[in-house]
Amino acid sequence: MVSAPRPRRPNSSEVHEQHELLRWVADLYYLQQQGQAEIAALIGTSVSKVSRLLAEARRQGIVTIHVSPSRVGDSELECALKRRFGLQAVYVAPARVSEPSVASRVVALMAARVLPRLLPREGVVGFSGGYTVAQLAGALEPLPDTDLTLVPLQGNWVDGGAHLHNDQVCRDAALRLGARALSLPAPMVVERADTRDALLLDRSIRPVTARWSELRLAVVGVGAAPGGLPPDYPSVMGMLSAEVQLELRRDGVVGDLCAHMFDGEGHFVEQEVSRRTLSIPVESLRRVPCVVAVAGGVNKAASLLGAVRTGVPRVLVTDQLAAERLQQLAV
């Protein structure tokens, strides 16, 4: 059998020529503001080839991109909200979007950038489920030289999407951070209160529930008011029956933290479904040194107001429109 000839290695002259081509194309594009089509005409090639040359210039370090450090957390609005609610920090994503799903994505990306400055180097960190927290989990970047264990803060919904499966959210976050994840093999809501109580004592989930007292930081979403989101936007509140949602509205409920319902004044509302919900107790949440609430959308402003009034969140990450509306509601 005749072996295929080895590819010829470029000589030093060819290596130099290629390097200079990459450098010149990068110079034309980034410094001289020439378009890719203009560059293609200058060097006698295609636009797609120019795009590949620019990518290769970045890969080889011929081109490096520097973005100035973020000053998020220091604006007048952020400082005003921090003082108003006695928070450790407020981070506002500078995006004015009214669509709830887009606002949620904006907040998730912002939270993924600020969370590394808040995370401990070692210990136990809790994650709730929810649309925004799930997107945050998928946007995190590896955190070297850490020894973290991530635990879910509530059970799992069978239906509604992966973002309501708290175990999956924790696995995704752990995979991105390079941490360990524990599983809570139990549903969020069961049919009877005594079933919930028995589950909390069961050996299969004690390895997780026992870690709730060790939490050094918790990342939680803020649920919207009953009926406060469109039908195609699955949420914890939206998974409840119409009858239960109506009863919650009558009780003045404006949102939830880890499935614990609260009203606009920040008082937790004990409802029949609460006694059937498997979630970290409010008392345990209050003892966590740093609870980071992440939620976006101007439609959630009233929910954010109730959430920060509970005194549980110590850090808030939201978007511009929601923050401005929150400030207006707090007057």
| Domain map (residue ranges) of the chain | 15-59, 76-329
Domain 76-329 has CATH 3.40.50.1360: yes
Per-residue pLDDT of the chain (331 residues; tens, 9 = 90+): 555 566 667 777 788 888 999 999 999 999 999 999 999 999 899 999 999 999 999 999 999 988 888 888 899 999 999 999 999 999 999 989 989 989 999 999 999 999 999 999 999 999 998 889 999 999 999 999 999 999 999 988 766 555 677 899 999 999 999 999 999 988 888 888 888 888 888 888 898 999 999 999 999 999 988 765 555 555 556 666 777 778 888 888 999 999 899 999 999 998 877 888 889 999 999 999 999 999 999 999 999 999 999 999 999 999 999 999 999 998 7
Amino acid in position 154: Q
309: helix, strand or coil:
helix
- Rounded CA-CA distance 187/197 in Å is 13
Residue position matching structure tokens 């699955």: 234
What is residue 229's predicted lDDT score, i.e. its pLDDT? 55
Residue 261: enclosing H or E segment and its boundaries?
A: strand 260-263
Give the pairing type, strands 253-257 and 260-263.
antiparallel
Q: Which fold has domain 15-59?
A: Arc Repressor Mutant, subunit A (1.10.10)
Give yes or no for a contact between 188 and 90, defined as CB atoms under 8 angstroms apart. no
C-beta atoms surrounding 30 within 10 Å: 13
Residue position matching structure tokens 């949440």: 285
